[in-house]
Amino acid sequence: MGAGNQGSVAGPLRKTTGALGVSPEFRERWPIVLAAFIGLLFSSGTFVVYAFSAFTPALAAEFGWGPLQIATALGLFNLASVIASPVMGRMVDVHGGRRVVIVSTAGLAASFAALALLPNKLPVFYAMFIALALIGTGTTSPAYASIIVGWFDRSRGLALGLAMAGVGVGGAVLPSVIQLIISQLGWRAAYAILGLSVAVIGLPTLILLLRSPPRPLRHATEASTSAPAMMWTALRQRAGWTIALFAFLAGVMLIGVLGHLVPILMDKGLSAVRAAHFQAGFGLAVIAGRCFIGPLMDRLFAPRVALAVFSIATLGLAVLATSENAASLMLAIVTLGLALGAEIDVLGYLISRYFPPAVFGTVYGCVFALFTLGAAVGSVANGAIATRFGYVEVSASMAAIGAATCLVTLLMPPYTRRATHEAEALAMERGKC
């Protein structure tokens, strides 16, 4: 779909929205979005990543493990996630997103309960976090996005944004809650409560509210192609390699700087407490990005929306590198939060518009793996930059990566007709259901 055709999409959209700008399909299917929101709130991406640092002091005190020994578990979790994401994506395409999500959520609940019984053995600790990644990958964004994309077309960006906001809300609330539980009941009880909350709240919600979308017809070549072969085919297309490069660079830029945000602010003269307050503002901006960027993609060409968001974030990184004014620093952090909030929504939306529904899970799983890999590379690289040159150079280096990310969005082609036509056919099929 070229630039001229983009207007044809926007026109029908305006005619099918209500007085509040919400399409009939969203009003009819909002429980699916709610289920995805709650599922992502209780996902491995939320519970492991955002709660991990809260457990570090307690584990160090009880077992005598050092920071590097404990942090290695998170590194292994990320590495295992990179490997598991493409496999999970393929399973979503073959077996359906709902089945994968429910089975994975049940396994996640059991895995957290098992962590409450953790012995003083590092290999067991590492094995448990690798298992968390392998079992819990089905609870992450790609699996839920495949369901949202299957049910929503006209309001796809809005639905994706609201669903993915579950991760942002969890990231804003979970660390404080976990810290309170650990201080009152201990870290073992905290892990047990995490597992219980997944089993009692997350799993029943998914079983009751999450519905499988109509399955798209699969081409014979798509049904028999492996995930690596399918991703290689996608990477040979301009849409595929630009999305893959965008995902990797965005992971380097956003997640890479996130782990160093408090030290960067302290290097600017802020106290540790004030720097933590600034980081809370980052979390709120992530939620805002997830909620407000999605609807823009329903109305505007998504690569241009991504260009605007990441251009602003790149300017924010430049401010973070050069300014010591508190208000300017806060504004810079908000721009980064908006970009991180938009990132996963943008990836899911772009893949849904460039590739047919039958391969959405596979392609998104592989792209999500590249995003995770970029995050790992960015974290390590920024640690090395900070050690050698200081934290100012971290922000400056990530601003350069941000500029490259923006350039990639300019290379993204118009939406493909095949994916668009299949989406329209699927919409007609839903109307008959």
Confidence at residue 391, expressed as pLDDT on a 0 to 100 scale: 76
Q: Is residue 145 part of a domain?
A: yes
Q: Look up the domain containing 58 and give its range.
A: 19-213
164 shares its domain with 134: yes
347: helix, coil or strand? helix
Q: Is residue 354 part of a domain?
A: yes
157 shares its domain with 263: no
Answer for the pair 346, 307: CB distance below 8 angstroms, yes or no. no
Confidence at residue 358, expressed as pLDDT on a 0 to 100 scale: 77
Q: Is residue 267 part of a domain?
A: yes
Confidence at residue 22, expressed as pLDDT on a 0 to 100 scale: 67
Q: Is residue 4 part of a domain?
A: no
pLDDT per residue rounded down to tens, the chain (433 residues): 333 343 333 333 334 444 445 678 888 889 999 999 999 999 988 888 778 877 888 888 899 988 778 878 888 888 898 888 888 888 888 888 899 999 999 999 999 999 999 999 999 999 999 999 999 999 988 889 889 988 888 888 889 889 988 888 887 788 778 888 988 999 999 999 999 999 999 999 999 999 888 765 454 444 445 555 666 677 778 888 999 999 999 988 887 777 677 778 878 887 766 776 777 777 788 888 888 888 888 888 999 999 999 999 999 999 988 888 888 888 998 998 889 888 888 998 999 888 887 788 888 888 988 998 888 888 778 778 877 887 778 888 899 999 999 999 999 999 865 544 444 444 444 444 4
129 shares its domain with 226: no
285 shares its domain with 326: yes
Q: What are phi and psi of 324, to 5 degrees?
A: -120, 5
The last residue of a domain, from among 147, 179, 213: 213
Q: What are phi and psi of 217, to 5 degrees?
A: -65, 135
Distance CA 241, CA 93 (A): 21
The last residue of a domain, from among 213, 240, 257: 213
Indicate if the alpha-carbon torsion angle 118, 122, 124, 129 is positive or negative: positive
243 shares its domain with 165: no
367 shares its domain with 409: yes
The last residue of a domain, from among 164, 186, 213: 213
Provide the CATH number for the domain around residue 127: 1.20.1250.20
228 shares its domain with 355: yes
Q: Widest CA span of the chain, in angstroms? A: 64
Confidence at residue 416, expressed as pLDDT on a 0 to 100 scale: 65
Alpha-carbon distances of 132 from 138, 291, 319, rounded to whole Å: 11, 28, 38
Q: Is residue 296 part of a domain?
A: yes
Token pair belonging to 121: 């053995």
Distance CA 109, CA 389 (A): 43
194 shares its domain with 223: no
Distance CA 317, CA 339 (A): 11
Domain count, the chain: 2
Alpha-carbon distances of 339 from 284, 333, 368, 429, rounded to whole Å: 12, 10, 16, 35
When computed from its CA atoms, the radius of gyration of the chain, rounded to whole angstroms, is: 21
Q: Is residue 14 part of a domain?
A: no
pLDDT in tens, 390-410: 777 888 889 999 999 999 999
190 shares its domain with 225: no
233 shares its domain with 278: yes
Alpha-carbon distances of 315 from 77, 97, 284, 296, 334, rounded to whole Å: 32, 38, 19, 21, 11
Q: Is residue 364 part of a domain?
A: yes
Distance CA 294, CA 159 (A): 7
Using CB atoms within 10 Å of the CB of residue 133, give its burial: 0 to 12 exposed, 13 to 18 middle, 19+ buried: buried
182 shares its domain with 95: yes
Global pTM reads: 0.75
183 shares its domain with 273: no
Q: Mark out the alpha helices in 236-325 (DSSP H runs).
A: 238-250, 256-258, 261-267, 272-299, 302-322
Distance CA 74, CA 80 (A): 10
pLDDT in tens, 181-215: 988 999 999 999 999 999 999 999 999 999 888 76
